[in-house]
Structure 1
Amino acid sequence: MSIEIKMPALSPTMEEGTLAKWLVKEGDTVKSGDLLAEIETDKATMEFEAVDEGVIGKITVPEGTDNVKVGTVIAVMAGEGEDVSAAAAPAPTPAPASTPLPPGEGQGAPAPRGEGEREKTATPTPAPSPVAADAAPPSPGGRGEERIKASPLARRLAAEKGVDLASLSGSGPNGRIVKADLEGAKPGTAPAAQPAATTPTPSAPAPAAAPAEHKPVWWDESIPHEEEKLSNIRKTIARRLTESKQTIPHIYLTLDIRLDALLKLRGELNKALEPRGVKLSVNDLLIKALGVALIQTPKCNVTYTGDKLVKYSRADVSVAVSTPTGLITPIIRDAANVSVSSISTQMKDLAGRAKEGKLQPQEYQGGTASLSNMGMFGIKQFEAVINPPQGMIMAIGAGEKRPYVIDDSLQIATIMSATGSFDHRAIDGADGAQLMKTFKELVEAPMGMIA
């Protein structure tokens, strides 16, 4: 039987994506693990792997197509022993008397839809609630077969061998059972087939909220210009920053920090780490300082959810990285407890792959607070926008020589300004001030954060 390849959800927040590039063509033979396409999600451009074996019979969504909904059939693959031309052939139109398919099922790539599309695609006459044609009967113990993640080929082979899919552990994406998982599986353990009976009507899903319409913006077309289509990443940045500024009451706290002790320690550590090929940056040490400060000031390591306050016992610091397609924030997990050499190594790897668009979702989604450093651009001070659902972000300015009072005398020191942006719904000003004070103390006496 032919296998439908559908638009995958490559991140928890992904609802649609751009099919940037096909890496296979019709007639190509693929096996599990082969790369099929490059897909631009709301965060990055990621590679999509095959989970089944077969021959690409037909590509239904051409590369470069925008706004492809998750679950849309983007290609059809012929299974083992199946004629490729048969797999590529369009499915026959069902007779009017047959049970209608749910809107969007088996229709290939749907046209862009808006509010009310469900009414447009529904059948004109009342009919019983539709049931998916390939819904599997429930297995013993009340566990429905439809709840077991398995490829169509794996399901067919399991049925032929008499293997209960519930007894297997999947090695595919998100624990999906693929053909390789059936090798060595003992036959005869599949539950007895249930006789055809009235299938319970599935509850209708809640209609998705219609996306807000963009109001037209006037601009002077008489000025020489060019227009650039927004990428999914840029759209996500615009949406999330707008959401942050509209829904989170920001409070900003700024202080000056003396860097001389940290710069001295950095030089000593780099000399010691040189044989290992590790070179610390000032930013690596600031990530460590923020992680330790968050643990020492737990009231700032929180998320406001509307009806409760989530208090984190670990500090995962998201670090802003500029890429050709926009800003992304890879995460240093447990920044307070990992070594600065590990932070440095991780950041070089994460930043490099971020600029290539090769980060995995778990590497940039989450985090308990963020750090954004624009000092390398000579920016003296700025106020960063909180990255929801986090409760704060630290903005780092440039270190520069300034007059500074040391031991009651005016001297020249290397000073940087740091500004904390706090979610005032969850973090009081006094608590934010305590975190800023702790951060300053750690930077000015850095041995305390690495001891």
Structure 2
Amino acid sequence: MTINIQMPALSPTMEEGTLAKWLVKEGDTVKSGDLLAEIETDKATMEFEAVDEGTITKIMVPEGSEGVKVGTVIATLAGEGEDAAEAPTPAAAPLAEKAEPKADATPAKAEPAPVAKADPVPAKAEKSVSDGDRLKASPLARRLAEQSGLDLSTIEGSGPNGRIVKADLDGAKPSAATAAPSPSSQAAAPSAAAPAPAPEGVPSETIKLSSMRKVIARRLTESKQTVPHFYLTLDCNLDKLLKLRGDLNKGLESRGVKLSVNDLLIKALGIALTQVPDANVQFSGDNLIKFHRADISMAVAIPGGLITPVITDVGGKSLSKIATEAKDLAARARDGKLQPQEYQGGTASISNLGMFGIKQFDAVINPPQGMILAVGAGDKRPHVVDGALAVATVMTATGSFDHRAIDGAVGAQLMQAFQALVENPLSMLA
């Protein structure tokens, strides 16, 4: 019997994805465990394996298709012993309107806010054609045409049965009725959130947003709009921590383990959260979730965005274990090989830009977490040491807190606990 291969849900929150690449072609024989395709989710590009054995009879969704809904039939498989040539092929399940080839350089598909329009103009796209009562165009093409002032009746469609799709809008010119906006629309323009075109005469290119970048944009915009941030900043003397790191690395050299400064800062934040449990919380509507261990999400820059792999139970792990896990997670994050459970969750985050020479910055909270610690570079500065002014290696750390869950005094207690652990690092080994 024919087996439908459906777009899988590769994470609990995945609703759609991009079919980045097919690793098989029609006529190929596959068995359970063979790789079928590479699928791009909002966090990573993941490999999709076959579950059943048989022959690929039809690829329903071409590679490069975006916005493919979970559950969409992307290919069919003739079961073992079945004649692939005689296997029935189901009609292609409808893709999300966003599913168009990556090669299309049209601006990103995220739905923009409505553009303020000029005086109403009859919609020519609704006129009758010989094959039905309405001109055939995808909803996405209609929306983009409306935003750009394009007359769909003047555009020839390249889709099935002459349907107008997004790619057909390239190079089309706005209709005269919408090319010159009325004074009322010009007055309203500043408040519109439509994407602004590139300035004329300036060399540029339009790059389509990846699924990851769209999710980053959506989540962080939501964070700044809905989470009341407040910030607490203090300086930490790193001299003792740097000396301890050097001593520990000498002892760990035979085991092939090398501690980074960030490993020790992750440990310090994890212990500080256990010492100040009222800061290890998450706002949840009418409830406050208090965590009994510290799982730290560490921000890792990857091509096209960032991802936050999680080191669980930081307070209960040795520094060598944290260093080993952090190195492995960061490497696999850059290769797009993390499993969903490795970057989801976390009770707090840490973001370190010190390696770029950044002295201080304010990080955006990663919802639904209640705080994130932003760490700058350690550099030589005048600093009071044992009651006297001296030169020390000083690092500035800034905590961003969700005021719905964490009050100022509690945030300050957490920052003090973190500072104490960094400046007296032997206490982290106790």
Which TM-score applies when normalising by structure 2? 0.77
Report the counterpart of residue 147 of structure 1 in structure 2: none
Q: How does 1:200-279 map to 2 (within 5 A)?
A: 215-279=194-258
Secondary structure of 1:256's aligned partner: strand
Secondary structure of 1:398's aligned partner: strand
Distance 1:75 1:107 in 2: 9
Q: How does 1:26-45 map to 2 (within 5 A)?
A: 26-45=26-45
2:298 pairs with 1:299: no
Secondary structure of 2:377's aligned partner: coil
Shift of the alpha carbon at 1:33?
Answer: 1.0
Report the counterpart of residue 93 of structure 2 in structure 1: 108
Secondary structure of 2:220's aligned partner: helix
2:399 pairs with 1:424: no
Distance 1:428 1:33 in 2: 51
Deviations 1:69-110 (A, max 9, x none): 1110000000122111223x434xxxxxxxxxxxxxx64243
Q: How does 1:288-327 map to 2 (within 5 A)?
A: 288-327=267-306
Identity across aligned pairs (percent)?
70
Identify if the C-alpha distance between structure 1 residues 214 and 3 changes in structure 2 by more than 3 Å, giving closer, same or farther. farther
Q: Structure 1: any 5+ residue segments left out of the alignment?
A: 92-105, 116-212
Report the counterpart of residue 64 of structure 2 in structure 1: 64
Distance 1:341 1:420 in 2: 25
Amino acid at match of 2:413: Q
Distance 2:96 2:269 in 1: 47
2:76 pairs with 1:76: yes
Q: How does 1:402-417 map to 2 (within 5 A)?
A: 402-417=381-396
2:337 pairs with 1:352: no
Amino acid at match of 2:390: Q
Report the counterpart of residue 435 of structure 1 in structure 2: 414
Contact 1:74 1:109 in 2 (8 A): no
Distance 2:193 2:210 in 1: 16
Shift of the alpha carbon at 1:31?
Answer: 1.0
Distance 2:260 2:205 in 1: 38
Amino acid at match of 1:311: K
Report the counterpart of residue 151 of structure 1 in structure 2: none
Secondary structure of 2:270's aligned partner: helix
Secondary structure of 1:399's aligned partner: strand
Q: How does 1:389-404 map to 2 (within 5 A)?
A: 389-404=368-383
Distance 1:358 1:226 in 2: 29
Distance 1:407 1:21 in 2: 61
Contact 1:60 1:109 in 2 (8 A): no
Q: Structure 2: any 5+ residue segments left out of the alignment?
A: 99-109, 112-191
Shift of the alpha carbon at 1:111?
Answer: 5.1
Which TM-score applies when normalising by structure 1? 0.73
Report the counterpart of residue 8 of structure 1 in structure 2: 8
Distance 2:73 2:337 in 1: 24
Q: How does 1:127-206 map to 2 (within 5 A)?
A: none
Shift of the alpha carbon at 1:218?
Answer: 4.0
Deviations 1:26-49 (A, max 9, x none): 111111111100000011100011
Amino acid at match of 1:90: T
Contact 2:33 2:51 in 1 (8 A): yes
Secondary structure of 2:314's aligned partner: coil
Contact 2:76 2:89 in 1 (8 A): no
Contact 2:26 2:58 in 1 (8 A): yes
Distance 1:371 1:18 in 2: 29
Contact 2:58 2:89 in 1 (8 A): no
Distance 2:32 2:397 in 1: 49
Distance 1:289 1:110 in 2: 47
Distance 1:111 1:230 in 2: 17
Contact 1:318 1:329 in 2 (8 A): yes
Contact 1:381 1:419 in 2 (8 A): yes
Amino acid at match of 2:312: R
Deviations 1:281-337 (A, max 9, x none): 000000000000001111111110111000000100000000012110001000111
Report the counterpart of residue 20 of structure 2 in structure 1: 20
Distance 2:206 2:243 in 1: 48
Distance 2:193 2:214 in 1: 12
Report the counterpart of residue 337 of structure 1 in structure 2: 316
Contact 2:301 2:334 in 1 (8 A): yes
Shift of the alpha carbon at 1:61?
Answer: 0.3
Report the counterpart of residue 344 of structure 2 in structure 1: 365
Contact 2:264 2:319 in 1 (8 A): yes
- Output the aligned Cα RMSD: 1.6
Report the counterpart of residue 89 of structure 2 in structure 1: 90
Amino acid at match of 2:63: E
Secondary structure of 1:290's aligned partner: helix
Secondary structure of 1:394's aligned partner: strand
Deviations 1:247-269 (A, max 9, x none): 10000000000000100100010
Shift of the alpha carbon at 1:6?
Answer: 0.4
Secondary structure of 2:204's aligned partner: coil
Distance 2:40 2:391 in 1: 49
Structure 1 segments, 4+ long, off by >3 Å, are: none
Identify if the C-alpha distance between structure 1 residues 221 and 19 changes in structure 2 by more than 3 Å, giving closer, same or farther. farther
Shift of the alpha carbon at 1:223?
Answer: 0.7
Amino acid at match of 1:332: I
Amino acid at match of 1:54: G
Shift of the alpha carbon at 1:406?
Answer: 1.4
Contact 1:302 1:426 in 2 (8 A): yes
Report the counterpart of residue 130 of structure 2 in structure 1: none
Report the counterpart of residue 157 of structure 2 in structure 1: none
Shift of the alpha carbon at 1:407?
Answer: 2.1
Distance 2:362 2:409 in 1: 18
2:364 pairs with 1:379: no
Distance 1:48 1:107 in 2: 20
Amino acid at match of 2:330: A
